[in-house]
């Protein structure tokens, strides 16, 4: 299977099953329509008949030969032989956990999927004892996996920061004994950040995700306090301070765009102008009936905006101005192995979420959905049948994904969104699919543009584009 598209003046072809990306001239792009899984060495007659008026015979022959060479090398129409690996992870250990350390929040963001902080379950904080049991659970269920990820999430985790600190301390104390390495992440709305918390976060958290929607008017429209006041002025200086002291650990400034700011390129640029260079703005996923929702019919406008952002990023990089937009990050060479790509997030299998009450769910977005409760830390229950059901959910068991060109980059999308909006974890959520595919097209095009210009000024070591040439 291939996916060919034109974007920003580039003719691009992704060979889905090998992962090869080709940039084609117009001749090759046109002739590609006459090639297939069964292509032969000789130019099909139809090519001469239909393209003969447009291109010289010699040029057609030469181009077809080049395409055939790619085919022979397994880089064009390469066969799909991944299904055999699809059940390789049924007995995978649990290695990542989202600890909902606080089911309470000090903001009331309009679009919050967690029902404004409490997941519809009443406001409460996780007791330290439960948090310790969560750490014990992941150690006990992680088999021989060394790297364990724990994400402090909520609600707003800083509202229960003392427990966060003690949990980290507890986990660190067990690392040597069990030969584990914890990687902690925390996601915060910034309201309660102070020097002490910043110091701790910068020391202990491998990644910190700082919520901000971009421009002040955009942020303050939806990210508000319980009495309706905007949060921008309180959080931006705190984020700037935290990031300036962060050294080499990861962080993201992350926002959500809604129908109200479909011109979100301006929000990305605004974040950058505040001194941040690790940026992420993601589309709100919500009930289409809500005012701020991005609906299927909004997609053309969003697509145009993604293209605009992609071009803006290319221009900036050419000028040596580097910032990273999370959704356009793609590593065409050293990305994750195909096994991982078959099922992506690993929710309910390698990844679980726990609540202040000790309940275990497949992931943070399933929290509160009784049908998907997997067990409880306090009574030691854990539903392995459900775990296996999630493990078996791959791009080969999701009917739309199997033949989707984006399957190895998207990995089948978000099970929780599928369930919430399509009623089945295996039915892909159409709006999300279209957005995902557009972002991928843009991400690959950015690679093409930077490769063409031979521009290496964006080299920051890790994502250096020159490494993929």
In the complex, the smallest distance separating the C-beta of residue 379 from another protein, rounded to whole angstroms, is: 25
Which one of the spans 27-35, 240-248, 332-340, 405-413 is the region binding ligand SF4 (CB under 6 A)?
Answer: 405-413
Phi and psi torsions of 149, nearest 5° = -110, 135
Instruction: Rule CB under 8 A: say whether 365 interacts with another protein.
Output: yes
Q: Give whichever of 126 and 186 is closer to another protein, judged by the CB atom.
A: 186
Site string for ligand SF4, 435-454 (x = CB under 6 A): -xx-----------------
Name which of another protein, ligand SF4, none residue 130 binds, using a CB cut-off of 5 to 8 Å depending on partner kind: none
3-state secondary structure of 51: helix
Q: How far is CA 56 from CA 47, 48, 60, in A?
A: 11, 9, 6
In the complex, the smallest distance separating the C-beta of residue 448 from another protein, rounded to whole angstroms, is: 7
If binding means CB under 8 A, how many residues of this protein chain bind another protein? 91
226 and 108 in contact (C-beta within 8 Å)?
Answer: yes
Q: What count of residues does the chain have?
A: 469
Among 2, 15, 35, 404, binds another protein (CB under 8 A): 15
Instruction: Rule CB under 8 A: say whether 23 interacts with another protein.
Output: yes
Instruction: Rule CB under 8 A: say whether 381 interacts with another protein.
Output: no
281 and 256 in contact (C-beta within 8 Å)?
Answer: yes
3-state helix/strand/coil string of 426-452: CCCCHHHHHHHHHHHHHHHHHHHHHHH
In the complex, the smallest distance separating the C-beta of residue 99 from another protein, rounded to whole angstroms, is: 13
In the complex, the smallest distance separating the C-beta of residue 88 from ligand SF4, rounded to whole angstroms, is: 19
Q: Contacts with ligand SF4 in 26-45 (CB under 6 A)?
A: none
Instruction: Rule CB under 6 A: say whether 157 interacts with ligand SF4.
Output: no
Cα-Cα-Cα-Cα dihedral of 442, 447, 449, 455, to 10°? 140
Per-residue tokens: 299: 């997609």
Among 64, 412, 438, 448, binds ligand SF4 (CB under 6 A): 412
Q: Give whichever of 309 and 345 is closer to another protein, judged by the CB atom.
A: 345
Site string for ligand SF4, 285-304 (x = CB under 6 A): --------------------
Instruction: Rule CB under 6 A: say whether 159 interacts with ligand SF4.
Output: no
Per-residue tokens: 23: 């940039």
d(C-alpha 437, C-alpha 66), whole Å: 28
Among 115, 140, 464, 469, binds another protein (CB under 8 A): 469
Q: Give whichever of 347 and 443 is closer to ligand SF4, judged by the CB atom.
A: 347
Q: Contacts with another protein in 128-147 (CB under 8 A)?
A: 145-147
Instruction: Rule CB under 8 A: say whether 70 interacts with another protein.
Output: yes
Instruction: Rule CB under 8 A: say whether 363 interacts with another protein.
Output: yes
Instruction: Rule CB under 8 A: say whether 187 interacts with another protein.
Output: yes
d(C-alpha 206, C-alpha 187), whole Å: 12
Among 414, 442, 446, 450, binds ligand SF4 (CB under 6 A): 414
Q: Contacts with ligand SF4 in 328-387 (CB under 6 A)?
A: 345, 347, 351, 363, 365
> Does the CA dihedral 417-260-278-180 come out positive or negative?
negative
Burial zone of 169 (CB within 10 Å; 0-12 exposed, 13-18 middle, 19+ buried): exposed
Among 406, 443, 445, 465, binds ligand SF4 (CB under 6 A): 406
Instruction: Rule CB under 6 A: say whether 268 interacts with ligand SF4.
Output: no
Q: Contacts with another protein in 165-184 (CB under 8 A)?
A: 183
Among 174, 224, 329, 392, binds another protein (CB under 8 A): 329
380-385-388 Cα angle (round to 5): 115
Name which of ligand SF4, another protein, none residue 448 binds, using a CB cut-off of 5 to 8 Å depending on partner kind: another protein
d(C-alpha 249, C-alpha 201), whole Å: 10
> Could you please report the per-residue DSSP string of 209-261?
EEE--SSHHHHHHHSB-TTS-BSHHHHHHHHHHHHHT-TTSEEEEEEEE-GGG
Strand segments, DSSP code E, in 121-180 are 124-125, 147-154
Which one of the spans 122-130, 233-241, 325-333, 383-391 is the region binding another protein (CB under 8 A)?
Answer: 325-333
Which of 115, 137, 67 minimizes the C-alpha distance to 354? Answer: 137
Which of 90, 93, 217 minimizes the C-alpha distance to 145? Answer: 93
Instruction: Rule CB under 8 A: say whether 270 interacts with another protein.
Output: no
- Which single residue is written with the structure tokens 């049908």? 371
In the complex, the smallest distance separating the C-beta of residue 29 from another protein, rounded to whole angstroms, is: 9
Per-residue tokens: 14: 């992704």
Among 410, 443, 446, 449, binds ligand SF4 (CB under 6 A): 410
State the residues that interact with ligand SF4 by CB under 6 A: 345, 347, 351, 363, 365, 395, 398, 400-401, 404, 406-407, 410, 412-416, 428, 433, 436-437
């Amino acid at each position: 299977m291939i996916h060919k598209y034109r974007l920003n003046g580039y003719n691009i072809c992704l060979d889905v099953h090998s992962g090869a990306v080709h940039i084609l001239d117009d001749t090759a792009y046109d002739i590609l329509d006459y090639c297939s899984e069964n292509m032969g060495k000789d130019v099909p007659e139809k090519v001469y008949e239909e393209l003969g008026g447009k291109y010289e015979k010699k040029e057609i022959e030469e181009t077809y030969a080049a395409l055939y060479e790619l085919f022979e090398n397994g880089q064009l129409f390469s066969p799909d032989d991944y299904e055999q690996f699809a059940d390789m992870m049924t007995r995978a250990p649990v290695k990542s956990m989202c600890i909902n350390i606080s089911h309470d929040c000090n903001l009331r963001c309009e679009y919050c999927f967690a029902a404004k902080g409490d997941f519809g379950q009443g406001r409460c904080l996780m007791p330290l004892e439960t948090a310790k049991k969560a750490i014990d659970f992941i150690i006990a269920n992680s088999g021989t996996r060394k790297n364990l990820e724990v994400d402090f999430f909520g609600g707003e985790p800083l509202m229960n920061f003392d427990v966060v600190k003690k949990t980290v301390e507890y986990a660190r104390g067990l690392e040597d004994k069990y030969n584990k390495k914890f990687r902690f992440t925390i996601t915060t709305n910034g309201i309660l950040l102070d020097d002490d918390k910043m110091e701790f976060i910068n020391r202990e958290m491998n990644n910190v995700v700082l919520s901000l929607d971009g421009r002040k008017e955009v942020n303050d429209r939806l990210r508000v306090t319980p009495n309706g006041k905007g949060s921008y002025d309180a959080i931006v200086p705190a984020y700037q301070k935290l990031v300036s002291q962060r050294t080499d650990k990861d962080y993201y400034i992350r926002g959500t765009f809604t129908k109200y700011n479909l011109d979100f390129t301006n929000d990305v640029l605004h974040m950058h102008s505040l001194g941040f260079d690790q940026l992420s703005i993601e589309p709100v996923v919500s009930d289409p009936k809500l005012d701020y929702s991005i609906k299927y019919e909004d997609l053309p406008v969003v697509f145009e905006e993604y293209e605009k952002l992609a071009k803006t990023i290319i221009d900036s990089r050419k000028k040596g101005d580097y910032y990273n937009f999370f959704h356009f990050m793609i590593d065409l060479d050293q990305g994750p192995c195909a096994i991982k790509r078959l099922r992506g997030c690993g929710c309910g299998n390698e990844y679980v979420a726990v609540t202040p009450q000790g309940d275990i769910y497949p992931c943070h977005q399933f929290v509160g959905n009784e049908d998907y409760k997997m067990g409880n830390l306090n009574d030691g229950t854990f539903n392995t049948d459900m775990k296996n059901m999630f493990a078996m959910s791959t791009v080969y068991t999701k009917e739309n994904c199997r033949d989707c060109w984006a399957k190895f980059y998207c990995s089948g999308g978000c099970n929780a969104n599928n369930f919430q909006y399509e009623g089945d974890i295996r039915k892909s959520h159409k709006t999300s699919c279209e957005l995902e595919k557009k972002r991928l097209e843009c991400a690959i095009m950015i690679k093409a543009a930077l490769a063409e210009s031979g521009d290496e000024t964006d080299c920051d070591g890790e994502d250096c584009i020159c490494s993929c040439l």
